[in-house]
Amino acid sequence: MDVSVFQVIWFVLWGVLWAVYFMLDGFVLGTGFLAGFLAKNDIEKRVLINAVGPVWDGNEVWLITAGGVTFAAFPTTYALMFSNLYSALLLILFSLIVRGVSFEFRGKLESTAWKKAWDTAICVSSFLPALLFGVAFGNIFKGIPMRNDFAAVNFAYDGTLIGLLNPYGLVTGALFVLLFAVHGSLYAAIKTTGDLSKRGAALANMLWLPLLVVAVFFLGYTYPATRLYDNFFKAPLLLVIPVIAVASLLLVKVFAAKGECYKAFTFSCLTIVFVVFTGVTGLFPNLIPSSINPASNLTIYNSSSSLLTLKIMTVVALICVPAVIAYKIWVYRIFRARVSNEDVLRNPEAY
């Protein structure tokens, strides 16, 4: 196989890794910034944190892997992404660090003020990544104002952090926030008991309509703001991807309204995965389009590593990725039980 085949393979894997990360960490982020609305007392907040406690750090492995794949398979894209989106990505990384610290530090002192401060940190550090990931990907879909002279290896970025907060970027950010909010609410419904579980289900039902409105607006706004639809017009068979995303979103409401939250959560997972797949499919073969000059687009062909590097990565992926998937399935199976108020009261070492 020639290099182009491996470039396509790693583009697909790049998209899959981002989709899996958003599916898994999405419910942790959603649960984090909604904890103040869902939990009515300290015990219920501990229940929510313990519901995500065994899995949140493992979920971030997929983020590290997605970043690692970008670095190893498409190093030029990695360099330009972390240069052009440096401020936004740094805010995301700091937020994720604060979130992890907050989970661990919240229960270290029996002080109301101490716990309230860390509860606020959990909320903010969960909300910011949800919003900023959406803003970042919205700008990637739209195109970033960059000029590249590939012959001279000269790259220039004409944007600013404020420029990233453009209308389309903010709409995509709102879409991510609401996707994760519904996802987190459903996770709370299936992983907790009693009134907390009922509030999670009720909040998911309430947030679904705003999510639908923003999703419809996003789909409509995407046509004039981006070139994502071009690939779907060229190959109509690809429309099955956004159709699955839309159908999954509708089924979230169908099952949530019936109180079948496990099924609703499953379709919420599918919604997030196929929303990401829709964006990635629309990008192909671009990784970061230029809004100034299409000739400056970073693609899988002009920013990839050598054929040997891609071959070695493929062998490593065939060995390691199935092992990671098997491990994650085992972890989720081990910690599949619901968390109750009694569980955290019985265990003083819980969060």
The range of the structural domain enclosing residue 216 comes to: 3-346
Percent of the chain residues topping a pLDDT of 70: 94
Q: Which two tokens stand for residue 262?
A: 């496990």
| Residue 302 DSSP label | T
pLDDT for residue 235: 94
- The full DSSP string for 273-291 is HHHHHHHHHHHTTEEE-BS
Is pLDDT of 147 > 80?
no
Tell me if 67 is assigned to some domain.
yes
Is pLDDT of 164 > 50?
yes
Number of domains in the chain: 1
275-302 b/e (C-beta count within 10 Å ≥ 16 → b): bbbbbbbbbbebbbbbbbeeebbbbbeb
Beta strand 298-299 pairing with 286-288? antiparallel
pLDDT for residue 255: 96
Is pLDDT of 163 > 50?
yes
Residue type, 34: L
pLDDT for residue 152: 47
Is the pLDDT higher at 160 or at 117?
Answer: 117
Beta strand 146-149 pairing with 154-157? antiparallel
Place of tokens 């599916």: 23
- Average pLDDT for the chain: 90
Peptide bond into 54 cis (omega under 30): no
Q: Which two tokens stand for residue 343?
A: 């569980």
Q: Find the mean pLDDT for residues 71-100.
A: 87
Q: What is the pTM assigned to this prediction?
A: 0.93
Q: Which two tokens stand for residue 202?
A: 């009720």
Is pLDDT of 254 > 80?
yes
Place of tokens 């100034």: 292
Of 44-48, 152-156, 274-278, 290-294, the range with the highest mean pLDDT is 274-278
pLDDT for residue 3: 66
| CA neighbor of 245 nearest in space, from 293, 281, 210, 221 | 281
The pLDDT-based confidence of 1 (bands split at 50, 70, 90) is low
Tell me if 70 is assigned to some domain.
yes
φ and ψ at 2, to 5 degrees?
-85, 180
Q: Which two tokens stand for residue 118?
A: 């860390």
Q: Model confidence over 225-236: pLDDT tens digits?
A: 999 999 999 999
- How far the first Cα of the chain sits from its last, in Å, is 51
Tell me if 189 is assigned to some domain.
yes
Place of tokens 């700091």: 94
pLDDT for residue 149: 59
Distances (CA, A) of 175 to 135, 148, 307, 318: 10, 30, 37, 33
Tell me if 21 is assigned to some domain.
yes
**CA–CA dist 135, 132 (Å, integer):** 5
φ and ψ at 156, to 5 degrees?
-130, 135
159-171 b/e (C-beta count within 10 Å ≥ 16 → b): beeeebbbebbeb
**CA–CA dist 35, 123 (Å, integer):** 7
Is pLDDT of 61 > 50?
yes
Q: Model confidence over 260-296: pLDDT tens digits?
A: 999 999 999 999 999 999 999 999 999 989 888 888 8
Is pLDDT of 155 > 70?
no
Is pLDDT of 159 > 70?
no
| Residue 149 DSSP label | E
Q: Which two tokens stand for residue 334?
A: 């081990």
The pLDDT-based confidence of 29 (bands split at 50, 70, 90) is very high
Tell me if 351 is assigned to some domain.
no
Q: Find the mean pLDDT for residues 8-17.
A: 94
Percent of the chain residues topping a pLDDT of 90: 63
Mapping DSSP to helix (H, G, I), strand (E, B) and coil, where does residue 159 land? Answer: coil
pLDDT for residue 79: 84
Tell me if 147 is assigned to some domain.
yes
Is pLDDT of 153 > 80?
no
Tell me if 126 is assigned to some domain.
yes
pLDDT for residue 36: 87
Of 46-60, 204-218, 300-314, the range with the highest mean pLDDT is 204-218
**CA–CA dist 183, 177 (Å, integer):** 10
φ and ψ at 123, to 5 degrees?
-60, -50
Place of tokens 């995301």: 92
Tell me if 153 is assigned to some domain.
yes
pLDDT for residue 340: 86
